[in-house]
Chain A
Amino acid sequence: MNDEPPNARSNPDHERTRNAETDGGLDPGIGRNSPSEPEPTETPPFGEPMDVPPEYRQEESVVEHRSLRSRIVRGLREDKLALFGAVVVVGFVLVAVFAPYVAPYDPGATFGFMQSPDSYSQADVDGDGSIERVWHPLGTDSFGYDVLSRIIFGARVSLAVALATVLVAFTIGTAIGLAAGFYGGWIDSVLMRYVDFQWAFPEIILGVAIIAFAGGRGVENVVIAIGIAYIDDFARLIRGEVLSLREEEYVTAARAIGMSNRRIMTKEILPNAVAPLIVQATLMIPLAILAEAGLSFLGLGVSPTTPTWGLLLSDGRQFISRAWWISVMPGIAIMVVVLAFNTLGDGLRDIFDVSDSEVEQR
């Protein structure tokens, strides 16, 4: 993201016009170049060197970078649903990060069994020897754990695993997709065969297979298991971007001045694919959350004792007739966070005007 291609050069005024156009739904998306958009300043006249002095580029990258962010901020201000999603997502992430400070009790502390939501029990929580009256807003589970505290600590694992999963898929998928789109040939064939192959495996089944063959559960195995299933989504996205971008003038220009392939990929093509990548990643996180919950629900998640939302839900299902809240509360947590990511992702897609065909709908 440091260097911008020469023809994505923009000054603040120009940026404003671009955004004005977006409101009319005309802009093809930030950081991406539309051949239909008349931008006379961008093509250097004949005889002038096509290269741009490095000190120039530094400045451009700052402008472009800020505009990406300001575009998101402005878009969220207009799209209330996406803003709601963003707020909920940030809220959940903060709660997960500061779980020990936010959770009312220790996730391992036990109270009365299966107490209903909004009930009280007697326990010595602060360890001073005297018994206090403790409130359980979401009740307690079959082991006597406080459901709210378990959900808050569960958010850590569930969100961290989902983020790590998408990060793994993002990194590997982007690398493969770049190579496949840029070099074509056998790399491309292997990628496309792999995509076909993956069609045969629903993500959780692939995860189950990997966990079976990798010889057990554990955070790494779960992350790899789910992450592998999403590599092709990123790889195909990037491959498509490369195929459409590599014929662009600025790429030809970069090649003409003798830029190496690797530099063209990382400095010219990748920055232009940032918007669809962000959208794709935002829409993959909720899928990863659901997949992790599914694996945990099957009993093949991170570990049988670490609280994750899927496991909490699974633990409660046999007590459904006596204590519905044990399963329903973590289920609602999953639903709310997935809903938030989905609305945010859909909003970002509209803000960047990324087409449906670019970002895989699953």
Chain B
Amino acid sequence: MRRYVAKRVLHALFIMWLVATTVFIGLRSMPGGPVRTMLGQEATPQAVAQLRSQLGLDEPLYIQYADWMTDLLFLEFGTSITSSQSVREVVLGAAPKTFSIAIVAIVVGLAVAIPAGIISATHKREPIDYIATIAAFLGVSMPAFFVGILLALVFGVWYNLLPVVGYTPLSAGFLPWLESVILPGIAVGLPYAAIIMRMMRSSLLEVLDEQYMRTARAKGVTGRTRLFKHALQNALIPVITVAGIQLALVLVGSVTVELVFGIQGLGRILVSSILDLDYPVTQAVILLIAGVMVFTNLVVDLAYTVIDPRIRYGGENG
């Protein structure tokens, strides 16, 4: 068990190293190099040399690489080229907005998907199952930003119930914060819910069909206990896997949906940094998102040890 945890943590660190190295190589293999791209073809040699030394690009590659890695360890990403703010400030200013949307989306997604999946599986081939299945089919077919536009249209424009532009920080109070992120959160959460619900349904149906469920029934365990104690624990394992994999969908969704609601989050600064050729910001955002993905995958892996006894007791080969 401890060995399993150590293995997963080391693996996560290895992936982060791989990601950082790839970004390092990617940046330096750009056609003409980042400096040329940033300054344009007409830049004077002096300006190019100055920016190169400012970015440390005139050093030998191995020194650049060592610098890059140490900077990353201390989360030091340099200065934004367009705003002359430090990259860390820029990113830390934007990240809470995107992550607020993502967190609301995860909560909404799980709160909708798991009950819906359970109801759908326990009422197989009844009208409610068909309704849930059709809704899930629609959900997986809509990009989050389109759901966002529909929500903004209905709740913001037609009924004027909720704000559809801007973000209120959590420090201004929980309710104003929630008001500003609930629509984007739902927009990202619904497609997420659709996928998890489908998994929940099929996984629970499979478990309900197992021998031990029949045994439980035979020995007189009541329906509710059977469902919640015997079936759900096993049915949830693949659901957690999918919920973990699909966090990518949540992050991508949050990054796009914030544009619908005029929230200046990671998506906005990522896109503008690419269009403005502000590479320090671009690489910081990409590394941050990759880091979040690696971290959440690690958490999902570790969550297995709590939920799946097979890993808890025999985790050597996990």
Contacts and interface: CB of A to CB of B under 8 A. Distances in A.
A362 interface: yes
Nearest to B290: A200
A313 B144 CA distance: 12
Interface in B1-43: 11, 15-16, 18-19, 22-23, 26-27, 29-32, 37
A209 B23 contact: yes
27 contacts: A196-B15, A197-B18, A200-B291, A201-B293, A202-B249, A202-B251, A202-B293, A205-B251, A205-B252, A208-B274, A208-B286, A212-B286, A213-B26, A213-B29, A213-B30, A215-B31, A286-B141, A294-B145, A294-B252, A298-B255, A300-B271, A314-B259, A317-B259, A321-B156, A336-B141, A343-B137, A356-B202
A342 B145 CA distance: 19
B199 interface: yes
Contacts of B202: 356
B157 interface: yes
B203 to A, nearest CB: 10
Given A213-B27, A294-B252, A339-B138, A200 B15 contact: yes
A231 interface: no
Contact of A200 (B19, B157, B267): B19
Q: Is the interface of B mostly helix, strand, loop or mixed?
A: helix
Contact of B30 (A200, A215, A328): A215
A29 to B, nearest CB: 19
A39 B202 CA distance: 32
Interface in A310-356: 310, 313-314, 317, 320-321, 324, 327-328, 331, 334-336, 338-339, 342-343, 356
A196 B13 CA distance: 12
A137 interface: no
A328 B22 contact: no
B256 A294 contact: yes
A299 interface: yes
Contacts of B152: 320
Q: Which 5 A-B pairs have the closest CB atoms?
A: A202-B248, A331-B146, A339-B141, A338-B141, A200-B290
B157 A324 contact: yes
Contacts of A151: none
Contacts of A197: 15, 18-19, 22
A98 interface: no
A324 B282 CA distance: 32
A328 B275 contact: no
Contacts of A320: 149, 152-153, 157
Contact of A215 (B16, B37, B251): B37
Contacts of B156: 321
Nearest to B149: A327
A74 interface: no
Nearest to A205: B289
A193 B26 CA distance: 18
B242 interface: yes
A321 B157 contact: yes
Contacts, number: 139
A135 to B, nearest CB: 24
Nearest to B244: A199
A361 interface: yes
Interface in A194-233: 196-197, 199-205, 208-209, 211-215
A214 to B, nearest CB: 8
B11 A196 contact: yes
Contacts of A209: 23, 26, 282, 286
Contacts of B293: 199-202
A313 B248 CA distance: 22
Contacts of B290: 200-201, 205
A120 interface: no
A293 interface: yes
B143 interface: yes
A335 B146 contact: yes
Interface string B167-209: 0000000000000000000000000000100010010000000
Interface in B263-318: 267, 270-271, 274-275, 279, 282, 286, 289-291, 293-294, 297
B140 interface: yes
B227 interface: no
B261 to A, nearest CB: 10
Given A213-B26, A320-B152, A298 B267 contact: yes
A196 B259 CA distance: 30
Nearest to B18: A197
B30 to A, nearest CB: 5
B148 to A, nearest CB: 9
Given A193-B18, A215-B37, A320-B149, A293 B286 contact: no
A97 B49 CA distance: 50
Contact of B143 (A200, A208, A211, A294): A294
Contact of A298 (B15, B137, B251, B259): B259
A335 B142 contact: yes
A137 B274 CA distance: 37
Contacts of A335: 138, 141-142, 146
A362 B245 contact: yes
B47 interface: no
A297 B286 contact: no
B150 interface: yes
B260 interface: yes
A180 interface: no
Nearest to B157: A321
A199 B252 CA distance: 13
A249 B291 CA distance: 46
A269 interface: no
Contact of B270 (A208, A343, A361): A208
Given A297-B256, A314-B259, A338-B141, 9 more contacts: A197-B15, A201-B289, A209-B286, A214-B30, A294-B145, A327-B146, A328-B150, A328-B153, A334-B142
Contacts of B27: 213
Contacts of A339: 137-138, 141
A203 B252 contact: yes
B279 to A, nearest CB: 8
